[in-house]
């Protein structure tokens, strides 16, 4: 790996043509940068904080000027470095040694208090400057449309952004560990230097399958209930149909519109009252609600179309869009409406593995000729962390011995010996319990989660299973109470500093073993318990206490949520340490998906590399040496085959 201390800091800002339809607000980075309309207006850059330069001209002139820079010795700094990296590498052919992005680098410490990740919000919050507004006047203007005076003004604006970005980068580097800066670099390179490929034919076949599935479901809906697609899509018509199905003993769910404050129907996938109808006693209600949710979702179709577009503009490569520290806990987010972090896992409808239930898109991600995809997944890492933090010995030892704990707990639930092959549905319930109930999931949410998977259970049955878990693993509910006490006592105290098992509970934060925080800005006691400002809540510019008007903007949090955040944060440390260790050995991950690393490896050396990956990913965790580690590693020509 490149020695970061020896690199030249090159802060850069690229201004390009945009209009109402052609902009980064409406298009993924790859599609925007590789579009025929792409045009560089000008570039500002500064080396090691020296006076910022502005250049403008056609592509050949910009290339000639920037070619003088020793890119192989530069660390490029930019706000939204994914974009600048794509322009530099795909349009200009320059490959810097590394990247630092102030847009994502500000997420761990600054964004939760600044109220946003824009350069303007961050500069104002830190007091490092003020971002200009001239770019708004450049909309729909080509380079040749600017007068000399306008171009000079645009250049001043761009240089000011570059200066602000460099100042912000220095602030970020003062609190962001070197390992975290390296992760940002690896994340950007996953996008601009892709190795994984896409199978366009597989994508189009799946698109056709979705259309056929929808047509079949519509036919069934029409034949059974006399309901068509127009009825499902019309809120008023659907409300009438659902109201008739509910009868006099039920009511159609409504909510207050955030847009205008009026009452509207609550038919979204996140509307709890609507989702509760998935477990309604009347199958007609369940079917209608399920149909509304099914036909309202276009996630998979949208992903496929974005991937097909990416295939076309990048010659079949999959540029992996990830957001560093995207989640509250530090985990990465999938981005650009593709969300490669959450491609559905492979599930089969039959034991012979001939018909897929889920995971079609994983088979559309493939290796180059002569290469294989290697997927290494930390086994139930969060459940292992929870059991270890709680001191739940039976679970810890079961994990250590490699037992099938999902089947074991399912056997307790159903009163007979559950087998992984013979009883997949029962084992799935056991798996959901072991992986999901450790954070305090209530019986209602558990019941709904099962219903979404096609497993209908009564209120009594859901309660029985949830309390069976809590009464079996008693140290885990005790851990929720411990975290609740720590959050209530220490996170709300400005002078608190309480260390426990490698964690530090301090004012408005839980500090993880690597020094990174999980922040709870403005955490306070409310009538509903504890609440804190969300990640993009109101800016905390003057540290004023929360007022009554702020309380509605708070996110609720309690012991189980603190534990969930902490377990995810610790799992994130474990997987990223493994990624960095392997990258420094020359084994660079092509994709990171939560607790999984995916590699693109020459087939001839796959078996040797798998052994190295296994050794690194199951190494003793220094801050939790009693944590039982395990990893599942598979390989194949596609991502699906590697699962």
**pLDDT at residue 298 in the model:** 77
Q: pLDDT at residue 352 above 70?
A: no
pLDDT band at 274 (very low <50, low <70, confident <90, very high): confident
- For the chain, what percent of residues have pLDDT higher than 90? 73
- Burial of 205 (C-beta count, 10 Å sphere; 0-12/13-18/19+): middle
Decide the pairing of beta strands 371-378 and 254-256.
Answer: unpaired
Give the contacts of 567 (CB within 8 A, at least 6 positions apart).
Answer: 382, 385, 386, 389, 438, 439
CA Rg, the chain, in Å?
26
**pLDDT at residue 516 in the model:** 96
pLDDT in tens, 385-428: 999 999 999 999 999 999 999 999 999 999 999 998 889 899 99
Quick one: DSSP state of residue 370?
Answer: T
Average pLDDT over residues 95-116: 95
**pLDDT at residue 129 in the model:** 92
Task: Give 153's Cβ-side CA count (13 Å radius).
Answer: 12
Decide the pairing of beta strands 74-78 and 98-101.
Answer: parallel
pTM: 0.91
Q: pLDDT at residue 549 above 70?
A: no
Contact 267, 238 (CB under 8 A): yes
Average pLDDT over residues 155-160: 96
Average pLDDT over residues 124-146: 93
Q: Annotate 600-609 with b (16+ C-beta within 10 A) or e (fewer).
A: bbeeeebeeb
CA–CA gap between residue 595 and residue 435 (Å, rounded):
13
Q: pLDDT at residue 303 above 80?
A: yes
**pLDDT at residue 2 in the model:** 55
9-13, 258-262, 359-363: the lowest-pLDDT one:
258-262
pLDDT in tens, 169-221: 999 999 999 999 999 999 999 999 999 999 999 999 999 988 998 899 899 98
**pLDDT at residue 4 in the model:** 63
**pLDDT at residue 547 in the model:** 47
Region at 339 (left for phi over 0; alpha for psi -120 to 50; beta for the rest):
left
Q: pLDDT at residue 69 above 90?
A: yes
pLDDT band at 534 (very low <50, low <70, confident <90, very high): low
381-390 and 559-584 helices cross at what angle (nearest 10)?
Answer: 120
Average pLDDT over residues 582-606: 97
**pLDDT at residue 643 in the model:** 78
Average pLDDT over residues 613-639: 97
Contact 27, 91 (CB under 8 A): no
Q: pLDDT at residue 544 above 90?
A: no
110-124, 140-154, 351-365: the lowest-pLDDT one:
351-365
Structure-token pair, residue 450: 């099962």
Mean pLDDT, rounded, of the chain: 92
Contact 82, 28 (CB under 8 A): no
Average pLDDT over residues 47-63: 95
**pLDDT at residue 343 in the model:** 85
pLDDT in tens, 561-591: 999 999 999 999 999 999 999 999 999 999 9
Structure-token pair, residue 621: 């965790």
pLDDT band at 3 (very low <50, low <70, confident <90, very high): low
CA–CA gap between residue 619 and residue 391 (Å, rounded):
20
Nearest C-alpha neighbor of 440 from the set 485, 392, 481, 501 = 481
E strand spans, 442-584: 497-500, 503-506, 509-511, 517-519, 524-526, 529-533, 554-557
């Amino acid at each position: 790996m490149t020695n970061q201390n020896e690199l030249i800091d090159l802060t850069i800002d690229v201004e390009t043509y945009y209009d109402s339809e052609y902009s980064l607000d409406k298009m993924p980075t790859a599609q925007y940068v590789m579009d025929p309309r792409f045009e560089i207006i000008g570039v500002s850059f500064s080396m090691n904080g020296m006076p910022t330069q502005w250049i403008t001209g056609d592509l050949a002139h910009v290339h000639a000027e920037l070619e003088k820079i020793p890119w192989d010795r530069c660390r490029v700094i930019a706000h939204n470095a994914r974009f600048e990296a794509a322009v530099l590498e795909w349009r200009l052919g320059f490959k810097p040694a590394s990247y630092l992005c102030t847009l994502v680098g500000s997420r761990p410490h600054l964004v939760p208090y600044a109220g946003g990740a824009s350069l303007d919000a961050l500069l104002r919050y830190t007091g490092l400057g003020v971002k200009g507004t001239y770019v708004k006047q450049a909309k729909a203007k080509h380079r040749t449309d600017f007068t000399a005076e306008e171009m000079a003004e645009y250049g001043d604006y761009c240089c000011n952004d570059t200066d602000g970005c460099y100042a912000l980068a220095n602030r970020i580097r003062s609190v962001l560990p070197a390992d975290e800066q390296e992760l940002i670099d690896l994340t950007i390179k996953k996008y601009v230097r892709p190795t994984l490929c896409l199978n366009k034919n597989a994508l189009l076949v799946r698109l056709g399958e979705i259309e056929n599935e929808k047509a079949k479901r519509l036919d069934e809906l029409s034949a059974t209930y006399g309901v068509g697609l127009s009825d499902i899509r019309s809120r008023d018509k659907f409300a009438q149909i659902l109201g008739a199905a509910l009868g006099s003993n039920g009511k159609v769910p409504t909510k207050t519109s955030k847009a205008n404050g009026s009452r509207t129907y609550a038919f979204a996938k996140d509307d709890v009252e609507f989702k509760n109808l998935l477990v309604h006693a009347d199958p007609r209600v369940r079917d209608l609600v399920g149909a509304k949710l099914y036909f309202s979702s276009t996630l998979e179709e949208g992903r496929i179309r974005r991937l097909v577009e990416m295939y076309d503009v990048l010659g079949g490569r999959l540029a992996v869009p990830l957001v560093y520290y995207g989640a509250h806990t530090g985990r990465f987010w999938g981005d650009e409406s593709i969300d490669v972090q959450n491609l559905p896992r492979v599930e089969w409808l039959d034991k012979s593995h001939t018909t897929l239930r889920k995971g079609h898109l994983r088979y559309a991600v493939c290796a180059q000729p002569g290469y294989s995809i290697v997927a290494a997944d930390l086994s139930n890492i969060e459940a292992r962390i929870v059991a270890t933090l709680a001191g739940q010995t039976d679970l810890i030892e079961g994990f250590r011995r490699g037992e099938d704990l999902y089947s074991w707990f399912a056997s307790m639930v159903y009163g007979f010996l559950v087998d992984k092959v013979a009883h997949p549905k029962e084992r799935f319930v056991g798996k959901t319990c072991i992986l999901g109930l450790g954070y305090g999931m209530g019986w209602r949410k558990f019941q709904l989660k099962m219903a979404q998977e096609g497993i209908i259970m009564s209120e009594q049955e859901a309660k029985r299973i949830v309390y069976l878990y809590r009464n079996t693993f008693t140290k885990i509910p005790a851990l929720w109470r411990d975290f609740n006490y720590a959050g209530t006592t220490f996170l709300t105290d400005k002078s608190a500093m309480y260390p426990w098992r490698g964690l530090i509970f301090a004012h408005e934060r839980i500090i993880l073993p690597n020094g990174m925080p999980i922040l709870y800005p403005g955490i306070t006691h409310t009538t509903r318990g504890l609440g804190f400002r969300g990640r993009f809540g109101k800016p905390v510019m003057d540290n004023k206490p929360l007022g009554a008007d702020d309380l509605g903007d708070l996110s609720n949090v309690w012991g189980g949520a603190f534990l969930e955040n902490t377990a995810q944060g610790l799992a994130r440390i474990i997987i990223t340490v493994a990624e960095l260790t392997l990258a420094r050995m020359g084994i660079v991950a092509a994709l990171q998906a939560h607790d999984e690393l995916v590699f693109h490896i020459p087939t001839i050396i796959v078996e040797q590399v798998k052994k190295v990956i296994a050794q690194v990913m199951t190494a003793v965790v220094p801050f939790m040496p009693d944590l039982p580690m395990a990893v599942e590693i598979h390989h194949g020509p596609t991502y699906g085959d590697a699962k």
